[in-house]
A and B are shown apart, each in its own frame.
Chain A
Amino acid sequence: MGLRRYLANKTIWYLGALVVAVVLNFLLPRLIPGNPVDVLVSKMGQGGLSSEAQQRTYEAFMREFGLDKPIWDQFVLYITGVFHGNFGASFSFYPTPVSSLIAQSVPYTLALQLPAIVLGWIIGNLLGAIAAYKGGGWDKSVFTTALLFNSTPYYCLSIILLYVFAVVLGIFPVGGAYSLGLSPEWSWEFFSDAVSYWWLPFLSLVLINIGGQAVGMRSMAIYELGSDYVNYSRSLGIGDRKMTGYIFRNAMLPQITGLALSIGTMVGGALITELVFSYPGMGTLLFGAISSNDYPVIQAVTLIITVAVLVANYMVEILYGFIDPRIRASKSGEK
């Protein structure tokens, strides 16, 4: 099918997925046969508020969070809020708006995940292709190492790295994003300090990504090595290096698709990594929100994660449409 049709197809599909995601995000927490405000207020009640005061607080919260309205109205409120970037106020940090909490944590998460995904993909694929091409002992060791890294959950590697390099060897700091006493600003001092806190969490993500890509690419490349076009190019006297280029170009295509599919899973594990390092990204924010039943924050974070993953997938799929000649230049039926 032609490029235009492909693009249109994908756009419509992703918009649909977005709608479903937003609706799910709204509905799922409301499956609770109970009221989150009840939980909140009773927690506050343990601090010794009078029952009258509790009742008033209860009503105030209900109004504040729109929980006294029928569900359809709540949904509309929710949607309009989201479009304006207004996710309401946090339960635990009342009256801090959720959006500002998120704005504070997003940069740290992005700083970790973006380079980890991109670098992991590039380095991993190169390694995998070389391993497939060279074969023999090199291939075996690369494959087993990559597989080992790939099958380690992100947080397990995080814990090991943290223990070995930060606690035992003391090369890296144990947790947080920057040293005490410093505050975030655009200065070299802050930046270089923050990087030392960033290294270990980044490593634990990127090493595993490299492993995953290397394993996948190696399998694809080995598969391609047995293809007809490899034999044919060889029969024309084309050298090994050029042929590796052909193989790479062909094996890359499914790797791009694979990247799109795995972004979703990568994000999940990466969140826990932040926990291990007390890195103040969205993972830590989410964790705190879960422990304190801070529903607005939970909902907002899950929505943002979902949207981010969908957008990332969408971009990767669009990119693929431009790269794969079978889509870009469709059949013209030359006789």
Chain B
Amino acid sequence: MTNIQSAAVTAEAGGPLVPEGLPTEPQKAKPAWRSLNFGPRMWISLGIIGAVAALAFIGPLFYPYGPDEKVGSLYDAPSAEHILGTENFGYDVLAVLMASARNSLIIGLLAGTIAVLIGVAIGILAGYIGGWVEEALMGFTNIVLAIPSIVILILISISLQSTNVAFLKGVVGLALVIGITAWPWTARAVRAQASSVATREHIDVAKLSGARTPSIMVRDVLPYLASYAVMAWVLQLASAILAESTLSMLGLGPSGANSLGKQLFWALAFQAVATGAWWAFLPPTIVLTMISFGLLYLQSSLDEVFNPRLRRGKKKNLAKAAARREETARKLAEQNQRVEVTA
């Protein structure tokens, strides 16, 4: 008894009916981006991130005071002129906040991008090439992953403290250090995906047509990893910003530059919390939380976009549909009763 499919069944493969278990799309075409299901979550998170970015990059253009201007003394309370008062050096807190936010964001962007680039590169190499290359790269990745990154960051930062190369001590140096220690997560996720993409048919086609390995990796594998890379990038941004502030609070922040973590460092050093000078520490805390929350929320909404099983359905559509169904059911019941009566 052979299991040969009928010609009719294979013809069907060209034009899908209702595949068992999936609803069909209605006839009218939707623009491609619409089907990406941008929910309210995404707009909220983008809004939060946008607000912080505005504070950091647009704020200084309009705010009269600079972060290095001494406008008062230690912890002056907020006043009409300085809405957030002054911090321990007598600088305007809002001005410092804007500069800090800007630096923190820049460090986060730099470090996060570096981390994603390294992670994606290693992930694709490991996942696609496989074999001992994969073993070696993944072994290396796992070791870097197992050792707490904070430890490595602290140790390297301490070394950098005493160096004479200026830029290594500042914002860029810090971003570099964070970037080259943060990539393992991304590498792991990307490798798993690259591995599975490598087994797909279009890769075989590419190989048969004579494309060389680097070209295949970039043009045939990479596009399928796009969604993972984007989500990883968002996560790396968040963790880089947080890593920087952790280091800054330990006293290992970028020298000569403000950052959110550094503001907190000074606040702790000058006992701002105990003396109740909330304007010195609450603003950076809130901004830091906002960035962190915004980015993580963004990532979870992207997760829903790319992973349909997590979707739980739009409320208003569900309610309407349910109502319509009740209608249909009632009509059918009436129909059947009438049939029974006449039968």
Contact = CB atoms under 8 A, between A and B. Distances in A.
Chains A and B bind each other: yes
B176 interface: no
Interface residues of A, number: 60
11 contacts: A13-B142, A14-B146, A28-B156, A147-B300, A151-B238, A151-B293, A159-B282, A265-B150, A290-B252, A298-B155, A310-B146
Greatest chain A CB density within 10 A among B142, B146, B276, B309 is at B146
Interface of B: 142-143, 145-152, 154-156, 158-159, 162-164, 238, 242, 245-246, 249-252, 264, 268, 273-274, 276, 278, 281-282, 285, 288-289, 292-293, 295-297, 300, 303, 309-310, 312
A33 interface: yes
Contact of A156 (B143, B273, B285): B285
A167 B281 CA distance: 13
Contacts of B151: 25, 302, 305-306
A220 B148 CA distance: 25
A97 interface: no
Given A159-B281, A175-B274, A290 B154 contact: yes
Contacts of A17: 142-143, 146-147
B301 to A, nearest CB: 10
Contacts of B245: 153, 155
Given A32-B162, A147-B300, 5 more contacts: A151-B289, A151-B297, A223-B309, A268-B150, A302-B154
Contacts of A168: 276
Contacts, number: 151
A29 B156 CA distance: 7
Contacts of A261: 145
Main secondary structure of the interface of B (DSSP, over half): helix
Greatest chain B CB density within 10 A among A147, A159, A306, A313 is at A159
Interface of A: 13-14, 16-17, 20-21, 24-25, 28-34, 39, 135, 139, 147-148, 150-153, 155-156, 159-160, 162-163, 167-168, 174-175, 215, 219, 222-223, 226, 261, 264-265, 267-269, 271-272, 275-276, 286-287, 290-291, 298, 302, 305-306, 309-310, 313
B155 A222 contact: no
A223 B251 contact: no
